[in-house]
Structure 1
Amino acid sequence: MENKIEILAPAGSMDSVIAAVRSGADAVYLGEKEFSARSSAHNFDENELKEAVRYCHIHSVKVYVTLNTIVFDDEMQRLKEAVLIAARADVDALIVQNMGVARLARQLVPSMHLHASTQMSVHSYLGVKALYEMGFERVVVSREMSKKELEKAAEIPVELEVFVHGALCMCVSGQCYFSAMLGSRSGNRGACAQPCRLPFSVGKVKDGHALSLKDNSIIPYITQLQEMGVASAKIEGRMKRPEYVSAAVRACKEQRDNGFISDDTAEILKNVFSRTGFTDGYYTGKTGYEMFGYRRKNDVVSADEKLFSKIRQSYKDELSDIAINGTFTAKIGENPTLEITDGTHNIKVTSEFVCQKAEKVALDKTKCETQLKKTGSTAYFFESLSINTEDSLSLPLSVLNAMRREALAQLDDLRAKRHNYKINDIEITAPDTSCVPKGNGIRARMTTAKFSPAFNACELIYVPIYTDNEKLKSLMADGCNIGVEIPRGLFKNEERIAKRLSEVKQLGINDALCGNLAAVYMAKSENMRVHGSFGLNLVNTYDLLWAEEYGLEDVELSFELTFERINRLGGTIKRGIITYGYLPLMLTVNCPAKSENISCKTCKNNSKMTDRKGEKFPLKCDGICTEVLNCVPLYIPQNEFSTLSTSFYSLRLTVENYVENVESICEFTQNPMLKVKSTRGLYLRGVK
């Protein structure tokens, strides 16, 4: 079958690389020691990376390196070295989350392919289109996309990579700040502590697991994905054992090549790792209670050493999967030659030994052929071998062995090097902060269009995009400078939102708050002023340069930045921070309330989630996605943020209680106004 979907395997170690290749993977993805979204995996130093790439390339397997974390300005020199390490190792592509990383990588190694990580939170047709137009060769889409949504995205002429097996985060990738806020271990930095796997309850149930989903498995749909044009079937699991990698690769290969998975393979896959079974809920669009699960005792004991040993036996021997053709020529009085080819590379080895006339036993052609075909523990097997020798010729078998080894070694060297990248030496300099626009403008983001007249003092007020037209007109007539917020979670409603954006533009509203690339793309298409929100995860000067070049009016910086790092940012685009609000820790398609079968009718958008310590986290739904809010509000007093190199500060109003409906906007800058416990977030303590 032409255009077979690629089977892409995770590798957290060289053992996993070998398991993936010998089990039939077409590509592997792995991380370097820094800037990997799985920082707790073994990951690869430069020499280990070169070894892995060489092994894979010899077997016609591609290697993609993950640099898929947010990166701060003070890390740019190390990031540069990480990109250069990947280029020197001859990897096939970089997987990146951060626009600044992409920008620097393009400057350093222009011809290297860039894959947009799922950490970019791209989950819609227009998000994929935006990345395609930016020059990305591949987009790793969000796990939450349904079959229908994937079919639409596949219309864009860019490679799509879809997760077909492995762990499901409760949150849309790239939008989780739970681990960072609770313990400074940032998921966007690869240091997630997985607090979501701990007990969280909604409603009356105690010790529930409202943030823990079963593992995703849509391997049975690989044929559908292939037919719709998806380029790569991706397996999650760089933190998992080589045996898991092997089992998952074999299941994917069976489904792709045979159209089904054998019962034995399916049972091995389930036993090697699961959380009470698997789910296909996002792909089929059947979200809800059945998708939730956590790892129990039975799931753990099923993955015993006997099972692991059985799996290891299946890939213990080197895979001889590369067909070669050869010709051996030997004549009396001449040096013998061995020529081999893999169809692309041609090798000719000539021995220093001069063939002699046999005095007793001549070289048998059959024995000669047998000896040369002993490719042993290499990647090769002879598809054909022509033996051209004279009768009565004498030649030691040791010479044949040496010629074969030399020819295969030379072929290894040629196959290992694919790209020979041209590398530009870009100097990393300290950001220029002299032109940073400064100011103290106030902005407010509302969840309704109901607020006191005091908020008219804001230079810009964002209201939900579906606010009634008459209400929008009334607010503008009252002198409010109104913008609309495009939801961070678009998914199946992208077309509806795009249509609505066009309508509000016609009403005279020209400002849009955008927390993902698709929203930015839509607002730009309507010639609106695009204001980037925290959801874009902009954290370094390269990010800000990208935002300015791409046409954003200004940006709300990630709240994972410290004040110190904020003041070091360069560029000339306006930037601001959130100074008040119940920060969204998660953006999820499957509402935590559904873990306990609580319906939307029962919830009425007033549910709260409770942790082991009794802290309560509000759940706010916009009809598409649910935000899990922090249990206490962020609050930064004016005397702390007024000295920052920023242009504005934002109030993010979400729970609509008394505190968020005060008569005077000025009270938000006075600590005594707050009658509840608050946090300074990550601005002072930072993230790992």
Structure 2
Amino acid sequence: MKSKIELLAPGGDVDAIKAAIIAGADAVYCGLDTFNARNRAANISFDQLVGIIRLAHQYDCQIFLTLNIVILEQEFKTLIKLLNKLVNTTLDGVIVQDMGLLYVLRKHFPTLDIHASTQLTTHNAGQIPFLKTLGATRVNLSRELNLREITALATVAKEHDTLLEVFVHGSLCVAFSGLCYSTSASAGNSGNRGRCSQACREEYETTESGNNFPLNIKDNSAFFDLPKLIDAGVYSFKVEGRIKGASYVHTVIDSFRKQIDGYIETGELTQDGERLYKVFNRDFTNAFLRGDLNQSMFIDNPRDNSKNHLVDKLKAEKGESISVVQIHDAQQQLQVDKKQINASVDDKIAHLSIEKIKLKLTFASEQEKPLTLTVTTEQNSSDLSDIDSKTIVLSSTSLMRPSEKLSVDQEAIEKRFKNINNANYDLVELNTQDLTDGMSIPYREITTLKNELLAYLNDGIEVIPEVELPKLARHPKPEGQKPALSMLICDEADADLANITDGDIYFKLPDAYKRGCTKYVDFLQQNPRLIPWFPPVLIGKDYDVALNILEHVKPPLIVTNNTGIAYHANRLGIKWIAGPFLNTTNSYALLALQEGFECSGAFISNEINRQQIMQIARPNNFKMLYSIYHPILLMASRQCFFQQSVGCEKPRIDNGCMLSCDKSTSIKNLKGDSFAIDKQKAGYPSIYNQDQFLNTDIIEDLSHMFDGFMIDLTNIGAGDRESPDKMALIKQFEALLDGQRNASDTLAKMVPESTHLQYQNGL
């Protein structure tokens, strides 16, 4: 395990990456124009990436590439072409969300170091070994965790030889990362595809508590918490900001560099953090880290807070009697300061070059002597004042001898070497004037010479041959088998439904429990027909209780939306199915779950459309499932949504809030769309779409692909609307699966506020 502390910087474009490097970042993460979760950033080309890697390594800085979105089946062909190029660079790591991509990387591209993205919502002790099994060498933790929880997970990570990253600065999502579907449901702009439209930053109609931006949370900053994070065992301090410019990146990274170095040298924090307020910010909070979730985490303005901070600082220094003129002068000075920051950063990065290295090849041959290749590379020095030039000579093993049939001449050499251009080198000269005609050596030696050249140009690393993914076998479900109807419940009284239906009944377990809770162990043992359904987020003691349920009930089958539970179910020999919140969108994700953890089946993501589903290949002895009726979760949060909407008498969330609060309300955006805010007892605060998801089309379209369709009877997210009668719903869905097409019309009348837009739009 490495012991150094890493400062990991964002790089949205070339200038921002240069700014991070010159400011002292130990590593920079950046994205290409595809397959990354910040498509609003400028991003970079592949050729630029190679130049950036070369530049960064000159400054002892690593480069990580973001491939942190869910991948669609048809994209793997293009993705493999990219990976085949990446393995022949000196890239230091790839950041990944999709479990199918984790599978492909571990199996076919083992030289690429894999980092698990925060989009994988990692927050408990089972998820770290789960991701380690899939090939991850480091894990970026969920941003909602507190210091005690991070410390506990750092111990687990150390046991599994895994490095931990924690976000220490930048924008905060109010929702759990990877579990926000706010704009996916309405417009197909999925955060899991890098197209988040930032519904949490939108303006809404003024709420009862007087807020217009009720979901807008302050920026995160652990600037003064670095010693505690170091003591906790965190390896990498990650700064968010790939849509920010070079001046922002340089200011933040330079501030953190000085803070880290000063603390290591003196044992004290030496920086006051004021420079952080001179670049874009929404004010700062460290409330998640402190475990103090209070109303002060929100700010009713998503725009730059620099001017407001300046005014507040003036008032603190001079009292409330400051004049309008003083405020104006200070704000004018702030603008001057910002321009100076921009100019200073531009000046600092002006000499940094990512241009290709110039390459010259000179061939020479004489009878009874080896064929020689003189390789000259030229690039600008780091200060652009000189040219760095290197020359080596490569030689064939055999000697050149006369040949009437074959000749290693200009034509033969150019045919094999003229396309040696790559993202790192620009072939500016190919000199064959010193070749002697009529001479030859075995042509395999020319190939060897070319490979030696490629290895030299690749920093001595042998070129890795291209990988082609083997064609996936499609295993149909048993012929003539109709999809079964299953249902999800959360009310213990609904366990009686087991008496009137033969379908599987899943029982949704809570997100939170009293410490040492055994209630659900007894309940599930008394109702063996019920299949436990584990939620996506289980933190700290709640994970411990959920694990205790798993270990003591030992059900024959579970559904889990949490990979930590999946990891332990596999270790206990319990069959498990991947729930819909694991965001499975491709065949390789199914193979990853089956081969790595003996998964029995999976719910296919509701974010993808008919065509995207059709391309998925079912693994052998694996069930494919799909939810056809459920509330559409837009986001779930560890923070309270009621403080900013209807108000709450509690100034902060305490331990009792999760277990006892069961409020509901709604907010409305400026377009007039209403969204239900729902908080179930022992559940996380959540926001739901105004329409229910109802997809009866898939039964006619794709019944041949699926083993079962699920309906959600929990009534969660319904707000104050009256829910349809459960028995009547079951009857109509059973009729629909039996081929009674008029049941579709009946269901549409029973659920008038419904949509299946995601099935039409896809990702």
**TM-score for the superposition, normalised by structure 1:** 0.81
By how many angstroms is 1:271 displaced?
2.7
Query: Cα–Cα, structure 1 residues 248 and 216, in superposed 2: closer, same or farther, change >3 Å?
Result: same
1:309 corresponds to which of 333, 340, 345: 340
By how many angstroms is 1:203 displaced?
6.5
- 1:58 and 1:417 mapped to 2: Cα distance? 15
Check if 1:611 corresponds to 2:672: no
Aligned to 2:248: 244
One-letter code aligned to 2:305: D
- 2:30 and 2:125 mapped to 1: Cα distance? 27
Aligned to 1:332: none
By how many angstroms is 1:195 displaced?
1.3
The 8 Å contact of residues 109 and 423 in structure 1, kept in 2 or not, is answered as no
Query: Cα–Cα, structure 1 residues 408 and 629, in superposed 2: closer, same or farther, change >3 Å?
Result: farther
Deviations 1:485-530 (A, max 9, x none): 222111122222211222322xxx3222211211211322332221
By how many angstroms is 1:294 displaced?
4.5
Query: Cα–Cα, structure 1 residues 312 and 529, in superposed 2: closer, same or farther, change >3 Å?
Result: farther
The 8 Å contact of residues 19 and 345 in structure 2, kept in 1 or not, is answered as no
Aligned to 1:426: 467
Check if 1:446 corresponds to 2:446: no
Aligned to 2:708: 648
Aligned to 1:406: 389
Aligned to 2:760: 684
2:580 corresponds to which of 531, 534, 539: 534
Deviations 1:628-659 (A, max 9, x none): 22221111226546635111111123326541
Check if 1:559 corresponds to 2:606: yes
Aligned to 1:370: none
- 1:100 and 1:68 mapped to 2: Cα distance? 12
Query: Cα–Cα, structure 1 residues 579 and 458, in superposed 2: closer, same or farther, change >3 Å?
Result: farther
Q: For 1:257-268, list aligned pairs within 5 A.
A: 257-259=261-263, 266-268=273-275
Question: What is the root-mean-square deviation of aligned Cα atoms in Å?
Answer: 3.3
Aligned to 1:44: 44
The 8 Å contact of residues 124 and 518 in structure 1, kept in 2 or not, is answered as yes
By how many angstroms is 1:433 displaced?
3.0
- 1:601 and 1:405 mapped to 2: Cα distance? 62
Aligned to 1:273: 280
Q: For 1:461-472, list aligned pairs within 5 A.
A: 461-465=505-509, 468-469=520-521, 471-472=523-524
Q: For 1:151-162, list aligned pairs within 5 A.
A: 151-155=151-155, 156=157, 157-162=161-166
* SS of aligned partner of 1:595: helix
- 1:304 and 1:440 mapped to 2: Cα distance? 64
One-letter code aligned to 2:585: V
Query: Cα–Cα, structure 1 residues 307 and 441, in superposed 2: closer, same or farther, change >3 Å?
Result: same
One-letter code aligned to 2:485: I
* SS of aligned partner of 2:82: helix
Query: Cα–Cα, structure 1 residues 307 and 202, in superposed 2: closer, same or farther, change >3 Å?
Result: closer
Check if 1:137 corresponds to 2:197: no
- 1:544 and 1:609 mapped to 2: Cα distance? 37
The 8 Å contact of residues 589 and 625 in structure 1, kept in 2 or not, is answered as yes
By how many angstroms is 1:251 displaced?
1.8
2:225 corresponds to which of 214, 218, 221: 221
Aligned to 1:499: 548
The 8 Å contact of residues 216 and 302 in structure 2, kept in 1 or not, is answered as no
Query: Cα–Cα, structure 1 residues 235 and 206, in superposed 2: closer, same or farther, change >3 Å?
Result: same
When structure 1 is superposed on structure 2, of 514-523 and 32-41 the one drifting more is: 514-523
Aligned to 2:626: 577
* SS of aligned partner of 1:632: strand
By how many angstroms is 1:41 displaced?
1.1
- 1:511 and 1:21 mapped to 2: Cα distance? 50
Query: Cα–Cα, structure 1 residues 681 and 522, in superposed 2: closer, same or farther, change >3 Å?
Result: farther
By how many angstroms is 1:274 displaced?
1.3
Aligned to 1:483: 531
Query: Cα–Cα, structure 1 residues 621 and 568, in superposed 2: closer, same or farther, change >3 Å?
Result: same
One-letter code aligned to 1:293: I
Q: For 1:331-410, list aligned pairs within 5 A.
A: 378=382, 405-406=388-389
Query: Cα–Cα, structure 1 residues 562 and 644, in superposed 2: closer, same or farther, change >3 Å?
Result: farther
Query: Cα–Cα, structure 1 residues 501 and 111, in superposed 2: closer, same or farther, change >3 Å?
Result: same
- 2:392 and 2:276 mapped to 1: Cα distance? 36
1:545 corresponds to which of 584, 588, 591: 591
- 2:30 and 2:635 mapped to 1: Cα distance? 26
- 1:298 and 1:435 mapped to 2: Cα distance? 55
Query: Cα–Cα, structure 1 residues 530 and 315, in superposed 2: closer, same or farther, change >3 Å?
Result: same
- 1:290 and 1:206 mapped to 2: Cα distance? 15
One-letter code aligned to 2:212: G
- 2:658 and 2:615 mapped to 1: Cα distance? 48
Deviations 1:416-472 (A, max 9, x none): 966837535332466443435664111211122222745542532121336645543
Query: Cα–Cα, structure 1 residues 419 and 188, in superposed 2: closer, same or farther, change >3 Å?
Result: farther
When structure 1 is superposed on structure 2, of 103-112 and 120-129 the one drifting more is: 103-112
Aligned to 1:514: 560
1:629 corresponds to which of 664, 688, 699: 688
Aligned to 2:292: 286
The 8 Å contact of residues 199 and 209 in structure 1, kept in 2 or not, is answered as yes
By how many angstroms is 1:200 displaced?
4.4
- 1:408 and 1:172 mapped to 2: Cα distance? 53
The 8 Å contact of residues 87 and 421 in structure 1, kept in 2 or not, is answered as no
**TM-score for the superposition, normalised by structure 2:** 0.73
When structure 1 is superposed on structure 2, of 45-54 and 642-651 the one drifting more is: 642-651
* SS of aligned partner of 1:193: coil
Query: Cα–Cα, structure 1 residues 138 and 68, in superposed 2: closer, same or farther, change >3 Å?
Result: same
By how many angstroms is 1:663 displaced?
4.5
Aligned to 2:355: none
The 8 Å contact of residues 140 and 166 in structure 2, kept in 1 or not, is answered as yes
The 8 Å contact of residues 513 and 532 in structure 1, kept in 2 or not, is answered as yes
Query: Cα–Cα, structure 1 residues 228 and 319, in superposed 2: closer, same or farther, change >3 Å?
Result: farther
By how many angstroms is 1:207 displaced?
4.7
Query: Cα–Cα, structure 1 residues 173 and 433, in superposed 2: closer, same or farther, change >3 Å?
Result: same
* SS of aligned partner of 1:53: helix
- 1:129 and 1:28 mapped to 2: Cα distance? 25
Q: Unpaired segments of 5 or more residues in structure 2?
A: 308-330, 353-374, 394-423, 426-454, 511-518, 651-656, 717-721, 737-742
- 1:415 and 1:21 mapped to 2: Cα distance? 26
The 8 Å contact of residues 449 and 464 in structure 1, kept in 2 or not, is answered as no
- 1:422 and 1:162 mapped to 2: Cα distance? 34
Deviations 1:191-223 (A, max 9, x none): 111111113479623553232211111122222
* Aligned residue pairs, count: 604
When structure 1 is superposed on structure 2, of 305-314 and 178-187 the one drifting more is: 305-314
When structure 1 is superposed on structure 2, of 519-528 and 202-211 the one drifting more is: 202-211
Aligned to 1:74: 74
By how many angstroms is 1:245 displaced?
0.6
By how many angstroms is 1:174 displaced?
0.9
Query: Cα–Cα, structure 1 residues 653 and 628, in superposed 2: closer, same or farther, change >3 Å?
Result: farther
Deviations 1:54-80 (A, max 9, x none): 110111110000101011111111111
By how many angstroms is 1:87 displaced?
2.4
When structure 1 is superposed on structure 2, of 415-424 and 150-159 the one drifting more is: 415-424
* SS of aligned partner of 2:197: coil
Deviations 1:23-68 (A, max 9, x none): 1101000001110000121112111111111110111110000101
Aligned to 1:331: none
* SS of aligned partner of 2:225: helix
Query: Cα–Cα, structure 1 residues 56 and 201, in superposed 2: closer, same or farther, change >3 Å?
Result: same
Query: Cα–Cα, structure 1 residues 93 and 415, in superposed 2: closer, same or farther, change >3 Å?
Result: farther
Aligned to 1:391: none
Deviations 1:283-318 (A, max 9, x none): 110112111125456626577464143254157336
Aligned to 2:209: 205
- 1:500 and 1:452 mapped to 2: Cα distance? 18
The 8 Å contact of residues 509 and 534 in structure 2, kept in 1 or not, is answered as yes
